Amino acid sequence: MPDWLLSVPAFIVAIGLLVAVHEYGHFWVARRMGVRVLRYSIGFGAKLWGRTSSRSGTEYWLSAIPLGGYVKMLDEREGPVPDADKPYAFNRQSVGKRMAIVAAGPAVNFAFAIVAYWLVFMLGVAGIKPVIGDVPEDTRAAAAGLSEGQHIVAVAGRETPTWQDLRLTLIEQALAGGEVPLSVTDGEGGDAREVRLDMTGVSADPERLFGELGLAPYRPDGTPVIAEALSGEPADAAGLRAGDKVLAAGGEPMRDPQALVDWVKAHPGETVSLRIRRDGREREVRVSLDAMTVDGERVGRLGAQLGIDSDEWAALQTERRLGPLAAVPAALEQTWSVSALTVRLMGRMLVGDVSWKNISGPIQIANYAGKTASVGLEAFIGFLALVSVSLAVLNLLPVPVLDGGHLLYYAIELVRGRPLSEEAQAMGQQLGMVALLLLMSLAFYNDILRLLS
């Protein structure tokens, strides 16, 4: 099945749900504050479906462009309002009420993330144990005394049950800098000892951090297995199918999936021979590899998703599952950690310490949505939690046209005792729109580059 057949509906479900949650925050608080809501729309543009409440008169819309949504409230700035209805207009409310209505959207996104992480921890978080792979000489990891096969069980006193936990924690520590204590064992269940990893001046960029430290996950030997031959790609055209074990390529034994990936990349556009095992029998398969350009280099492409056949790999898999009560503080901590890390990484982007290539747009989000949906329910819920946090943080930025920009205007109004002039607010909105368009353009540019590579 082509990836987009899952990515597109998963993306629509994810964005639709998260936008609905965000806008419902504005909607619910506005109603509680006595403001009349004229329309609650999921999506922008033309109405695809809608109904009007006979009791409140609110229109509920499902609109054509599924990249956002809005709540339209009664407001004298947007049109004439009858005298009898003026007490229900948004602009007639106190500054405190207006701030509460605006802040409710991001607040509900944070609440959604907490609930989502709570569900994930109860369903079970699958991952790979934080076992270190080969440690190159003259790296910070080597200087700390780390070596292949060791388990990093905690960083600065914070447990790291999976490689993903280790990754997020080290990114946080890179932002702080300095020496970081690691608790390591020489094998699972062994006695822990402390080593100190020097992270002074190391890049916090997720794309560069682990290379600079000299850390990578442990990769045991294991025969690469075709998990899926993508439709229309060289693997599919050659007759490869799910479950085929790739024993050798061009006569060279393949010790693990990465070895096969590296070998394929080194033979762009060539017709090669793969030795596979299928249903207990070995055979040779001829494959005409595609060629593509990545970072200016011509590389080969097989067009298959790979798995691995290895008991040792299976032993590296782990799962963290918590009860309903224990999952509550874990969900709160995870939401806080992801939120704080997002803010700090954004700050580092502004000063150039973190690459702008880390910004993703709708195409990459759809890609992640499809991949997590294909893995399972808990992975997709975890993805929703992460995007919900990102949506909340982004909306709280003090940029006009975003919720944070409106909150900034209201904060100035509180200090001055009167609002900014309409001209100043309009100019701020225009600047905010330009900034948002530039950010969206950058996100699309990054997405396209990822597609081409």
Q: Which residues have a catalytic role annotated?
A: 23
- Strand 317-320 relative to strand 125-128: parallel, antiparallel, unpaired? antiparallel
- Residue 201 structure tokens: 């001046």
Residues facing 278 on adjacent strands: 281
Sequence-distant (6+) residues with CB within 8 A of 139 are 212, 213, 214
Closest to 211 measured CA to CA, from 129, 316, 295, 135 = 135
Quick one: CA dihedral 6, 9, 14, 17, positive or negative? negative
Residue 217 per-residue DSSP state:
B
Residue 353 per-residue DSSP state:
S
Q: From CA 425, how far away is CA 410, in angstroms rounded?
A: 11
Radius of gyration of the chain (CA): 26
- Residue 227 structure tokens: 């998990």
- Residue 207 structure tokens: 């794309």
Note whether 226 and 188 are within 8 A (CB): no
Q: Which amino acid is at 161?
A: P
Written as one string, the DSSP assignment of 276-300 is: EEETTEEEEEEEE-EEEEETTEEEE
Residue for token pair 């609109």: 63
Sequence-distant (6+) residues with CB within 8 A of 235 are 226, 229, 287, 302, 303, 304
Burial class for 398, CB neighbours closer than 10 Å (0-12, 13-18, 19+): middle
Note whether 192 and 157 are within 8 A (CB): no
CA 58 to chain centroid, in Å, comes to 34
Q: Which amino acid is at 39?
A: R
Sequence-distant (6+) residues with CB within 8 A of 418 are none
By residue count, the chain amounts to 453
